[in-house]
Structures are given as C-alpha cells and as structure tokens.
Chain A
C-alpha cells in the first residue's frame, strides 16, 4: 500500500499542476467578449473543480479496476472450490453492474444539472460580494439575501434530487449484497451437511463474500462521488471546449511599428447584440498625430479603440498599423505596441511596485519610481505605510479613482509603447493633479501616435486633430479651432459644456 501512496504522491500533484496551467493558459487567451459574458468567480471555480474532480475520477477508476480484477480472481478461485459459488458470485456481480448502469445515466444527468446550478450560485455570490459597496449604498442587503437564497434553494433542490436517486441505487445494491451473503451461507450449510465442502471452504467463501462486500461498498460510495465529479469536470471543460473568438493566424508575424500610422480601411463592424455601428469606415491617423475622439455615450469612440486593440474582430475591411493588417500579426505583438489607459482601471491585488512594473516586467525599481514621479503618484505612494510594497486590494479597491488613474498612467509610461490610447484617462483627477499629470502626459505623447477619448473638451484643445463621432459616423474632423469655426456639433458641445463635461443628450 505504501508503494501505491508513493505513486500517488508522484502523480497527483504533477497532474494538478498540468491541469491548472493548461486550463489557465487556454482561458487567458479567450476574448474580451468571453470575459464580459462569464463570471470571474465561476471561471476560477471551474478550474478548481477540474483539479479535484480529475484526481477523484482517476482514483475511482483505479479502485474500480482493482475491484474488477479482484472479482474475476474471486470467481476463478470459487470455481476451484465449487462451480455453484462461482455462479452465484457471477450472477450477483452481473446484477450489481446492471443496477449501476441503470442508475448511472440519470445520476450523471442530475449531477450535471447540480454542477451547473452550483456554478451559477458561485457566480452570483462573487457578483454580490464584489458589489458589496453598491449593496450597502442602496441598502439592498435583504434584496441580495433573497437573490442568494433563491439561487441556493435551487442548488439545494437539485442536490436533493440527485442524492435521492443515489439513495435508491444504494438500496438496490444493499439488497443484492444481503442476497449474496445469505445465499452463500445457505448453500454452504446445505453442502457442509452433505460433506461437499470443508471448513476451509466455508471460511473461504464467507471471508471472500465479506471482503467483496466491503470493497464494493467502498467503490459504490466512490461511484457516487465519481458521478458528481464527472458532472463538475464536464462543466469545467466548457472553459476549454469553447473555441477562442479571436485567434492568431497560423503564419501571423510580429507587428513592427516604425512610424505609428493607423488606418481604417472600409471597416464595417457591429456588436452581436446591436445594429451596425461602423459601416465602411475610412480613417487615417498619421504617424505621431494626436487625435481626440469626441461624441456622446454610445457614439462609437470606445469601439474605435477596441477595434485597434483587436478586442473584437471587424466584420469586413481592415485596420492597418504601418501598413500591416492587425489580423495578420500576433495579438501579443499588437498589444506590446499599444499602451492603453482605460476608463475603468483595474489593478491586481499585488504591491504597487508590481502593479506599475506590469507595464514593463523587466524594469528595475528605479525605473518604476521614475515613472511614478512623472505620473504624480510617487507622492501618495511614499505616504503609505508600506510605500511601494503596499497591497492595493481586489481590483485596486484600497485606492481612490484618481490614485488608480495615476498608477495606470505610470504603468503606461513605463510600457513606452509607440501608440498611446487614453480613454478618459484623467477623468477621476482633481483639476490640480490633472494639470500636473497633463504635463507628464504631454511628454509621454511626444513622438507617439496618440488617441485620446475625453468628455472634458478642454483636455482636447491641444490635439492635432479631433474626430467627432455620432452613431458610429465621423461627422466632423479638424483641429479645435477649425471645429469651433465650423459652428457644427463640436462647437455646440463646446458651448454647452462651458468648461464642464459633455451633455448626455443634445
């Protein structure tokens, strides 16, 4: 048995390692759209389920194999004593297996249903816990409790249905085992009376029956776990059975950016859920040009940059960077050449040093600190108890919106990519901090193609060119002064804003 333990010791941790790494590396190549539609909690739960389920399945298969071998040997041994015992054991084994086959499919189906329900529950729990601030602010504790209770009740019911079916199967098994031992005893006594079996035979048949009883009882309990784990594994497998939405072409090359010219050539795109947003769009952004994107919410500004980042694939047409179609280059190389500061900044629950260094993982501490100084986050970081070694909480919750933005700016500065995209990058900053950071950002923009999305139009006045979006179309194109003189949409927005933000409707 210790040899078995040694083999398990060698095998199981390695299998767990392979499983987690294989599943995670597949998962993190899924598209932006995939992660928008799946709960983070449920995905991590699936990876964890696969680890434990895989080991249980392997162990159960191993145990079942041992029992099958044992049963075959037992039947042969009993043949040596008297064929009647071999026949009884054979018939009993057949009945036992038939019961298992009869119940296996329903148990497996119920197990799949239970696993799906459990995954949904975990997803809801994670969603609720990660939005606890909203729950408090809206005083919706009771509402959330009801939601979770309903999901838990659903899971509990599905668990009960599955357990009830398992119980029925076990009753049939129990009855069959009682019949086996009873029948063996009856035949033994009858044959012993006729001197057809010895004391040794008596001991052999009874001890073997009891041994088979205990071993199969163990396998039966494992079988139930096996069915449950199989359901969980099938659920977990959806992570890797779902094909990647966006994949690199087989011969994809690395993107080479020398100038940073971006071109939309007859691009047509729409989201799965919506109408066409871009129809045969043609835009050329010259190298090192600083472009501001303006428009009301939903006008297509963020989609425009998401397409450059290839977070979604265009329906037709192409997007070229320095003449290279972004669909023909590797996604890694594309993202290496673009630094993005998104609207909703999310940080890792790691140290501030690690979060900033994420822009360039090989950067030394000095380079991280230099970038932090330029992004004006060095001041607040040094005031924290643990300085750059402070942990930022899940998604950076321990920091204010402005502090997170400054960390994201420092990270982008460290990345030093030839193309820079700022999506409302300074919206959460106070005017004083924004002024300081703008200086840093202007330095950062030098010699780079820059796209800036801003609702605060004053931040765009120094752009080389401003594109005004409306329902996916570019309705105005020019410098701040030119657009003001045109007395069109932009001029109207500029007047309405009066130094503030864009109105929601015009």
Chain B
C-alpha cells in the first residue's frame, strides 16, 4: 500500500480488486433487482388490462392472463 497520497477512492479500489468477481456479481444482482422492481408493476398492469378487457367466459380469464402471471411470478 502506497502511503503518500492515499485517497479513499484509491484505497477502496485496492481493497476490492481481489474480490472483483463478487463485486461485479453484487452489482449485477442490483441491476436485476432494479429492473424487476420497475418491470413487475408493468406486468401487473398488463394482467389487469387483459382481465378487464376479457369479454368471454369469466372462468377462462385465467388462460388469457396466464403468460403474464407466469412472467410476474418469474420476475
């Protein structure tokens, strides 16, 4: 570790450098989390819109929204 002008930023990078795989994973998970967090309300909107617009037999409504429900659960 070089002493003279050690900045906090440089020190942080030096410390996390050996663990960059885990740090990248951490940020990748954060990316996925941010994505799913905003995308899932949109899928919910699609489910509601499909259900409201469904004009056939009410018992068949689940089949109409099934792909969106699966997507919502997967997210």
Question: Taking beta carbons and an 8 Å cutoff, which residues of A are in contact with B?
Answer: 1, 3-4, 7-8, 10-11, 14-15, 18-19, 22, 26, 54, 57-58, 62-63, 65-74, 77, 80-81, 198-201, 203-204, 207-208, 211, 215, 230, 233-234, 237, 240-244
Interface hub of A70, A198, A240 (most chain B Cβ within 10 A): A70
- Partner among A19, A67, A81, A208 whose Cβ is within 8 Å of the Cβ of B15: A19
Contacts of A80 in B (CB 8 A): 42
Also in contact, A66 and B30, with CB within 8 A (given A15-B15, A26-B1, A240-B11): yes
Q: Bound state CA distance, A243 and B1, in angstroms?
A: 11
- Partner among B3, B42, B47 whose Cβ is within 8 Å of the Cβ of A77: B42
Q: Bound state CA distance, A72 and B1, in angstroms?
A: 38
Also in contact, A70 and B19, with CB within 8 A (given A54-B12, A204-B44, A243-B4): no
Cβ-defined contact, B3 with A215, below 8 A: no
Cβ-defined contact, A66 with B31, below 8 A: yes
30 chain-A/chain-B pairs, Cβ below 8 angstroms: A4-B26, A7-B29, A8-B26, A10-B22, A14-B22, A15-B19, A22-B15, A54-B15, A62-B26, A65-B30, A66-B37, A69-B30, A69-B31, A69-B35, A70-B34, A71-B34, A72-B34, A74-B38, A77-B38, A200-B44, A200-B45, A200-B46, A200-B48, A203-B48, A204-B41, A204-B45, A208-B41, A237-B8, A241-B5, A241-B6
* Interfacial residues of chain B within 12-59, with CB under 8 A of chain A in the complex: 12, 14-16, 18-19, 22-23, 25-27, 29-31, 33-35, 37-39, 41-42, 44-49, 52
Cβ-defined contact, A198 with B6, below 8 A: no
Cβ-defined contact, B38 with A233, below 8 A: no
Quote the shortest CB–CB distance from A363 to chain B (angstroms): 32
**CB-nearest residue of chain B to A30:** B3
Also in contact, A230 and B44, with CB within 8 A (given A65-B30, A70-B35): no
Q: Bound state CA distance, A211 and B44, in angstroms?
A: 13
Contacts of B37 in A (CB 8 A): 66, 70, 73, 211, 215
Q: Bound state CA distance, A71 and B38, in angstroms?
A: 7
Contacts of B52 in A (CB 8 A): 198-200
Q: Bound state CA distance, A18 and B16, in angstroms?
A: 9
Contacts of B6 in A (CB 8 A): 237, 240-241
Quote the shortest CB–CB distance from B73 to chain A (angstroms): 15
Cβ-defined contact, B31 with A199, below 8 A: no
Cβ-defined contact, A68 with B49, below 8 A: no
Contacts of A77 in B (CB 8 A): 38-39, 41-42
* 3 residue pairs, one from A and one from B, having the closest CB atoms: A69-B34, A204-B45, A200-B49
Quote the shortest CB–CB distance from B42 to chain A (angstroms): 5
Number of interface residues of B (CB under 8 A): 36
Cβ-defined contact, B42 with A204, below 8 A: yes
- Partner among A63, A65, A203 whose Cβ is within 8 Å of the Cβ of B44: A203
Cβ-defined contact, B41 with A211, below 8 A: yes
Also in contact, A65 and B3, with CB within 8 A (given A15-B15, A204-B45, A211-B37): no
Q: Bound state CA distance, A117 and B47, in angstroms?
A: 56
Cβ-defined contact, B49 with A67, below 8 A: no
**CB-nearest residue of chain B to A207:** B41
Q: Bound state CA distance, A7 and B48, in angstroms?
A: 36
Contacts of B14 in A (CB 8 A): 22
**CB-nearest residue of chain B to A75:** B38
**CB-nearest residue of chain B to A230:** B8
Contacts of A211 in B (CB 8 A): 37-38, 41
Interface hub of B15, B35, B49 (most chain A Cβ within 10 A): B15
**CB-nearest residue of chain B to A25:** B1
Contacts of A200 in B (CB 8 A): 44-49, 52
Also in contact, A73 and B41, with CB within 8 A (given A199-B48, A240-B11): no
Contacts of B49 in A (CB 8 A): 198-201
Q: Bound state CA distance, A215 and B70, in angstroms?
A: 25
Contacts of A208 in B (CB 8 A): 38, 41-42
Contacts of B42 in A (CB 8 A): 77, 80, 204, 208
Q: Bound state CA distance, A70 and B46, in angstroms?
A: 19
Q: Bound state CA distance, A11 and B44, in angstroms?
A: 35
